[in-house]
Amino acid sequence: MSRRPLEVRAFSPELGERWDAFVRASKNGTFLFERGFMGYHADRFADHSLIVGRAGGEWLALLPAHRRGARVETHGGLSYGGFVVGERMTTPLMLEVFATTERFLAAQGATEVLYKTVPHVYHRLPAEEDRYALFRAGAALVRRDVLSVIEPAQRPRMQDR
């Protein structure tokens, strides 16, 4: 039995509930990727979010994104972005997801992608398949942001003033 090929399709509003359910069950999704939160910037960013899955079936990854001209960004209205992936994502599958998405975007005239990864402190199941795929694709690091996290159980004592 052969695997069905991957396909990429654009997000459409009628898929919102399924999108949000996928985000909540994903390895690395957070509330920032839920459609209600992403819609906050709808007036500033032309949504170009994508869904990658098996032809006619299972969703494997979501790409919250917007487009401005020939540039696609994951996602300008969010602090971080990148592929939101299901629990069954593997490195070989992510390489296939990247290649399929790259072909899809090129066919639509995109010439540049700015990809912001999800910081792994937010991953429910830590993995960096996307970072490896970026490396394999020859991606250039053009920006690095700082992230500071305080776990509620480890919160430092407040200063007295």
Report CA-CA distances (Å) from 161 to 68, 110, 150, 157, 158. 48, 54, 21, 13, 9
112: CB partners within 8 A, 6+ apart: 70, 71, 72
Would 104 be classed as within a structural domain? yes
Q: What is the CATH number of the domain that holds 35?
A: 3.40.630.30
pLDDT, averaged per 10 consecutive residues of the chain (161 residues), comes to: 82 95 95 87 85 92 95 87 94 96 96 92 89 94 85 71 58
Domain that holds residue 137: 6-154
pLDDT of residue 59: 96
Would 125 be classed as within a structural domain? yes
Number of domains in the chain: 1
Would 161 be classed as within a structural domain? no
Would 55 be classed as within a structural domain? yes
The single residue listed with the structure tokens 């917007």 is: 66
pTM confidence score: 0.89
Would 15 be classed as within a structural domain? yes
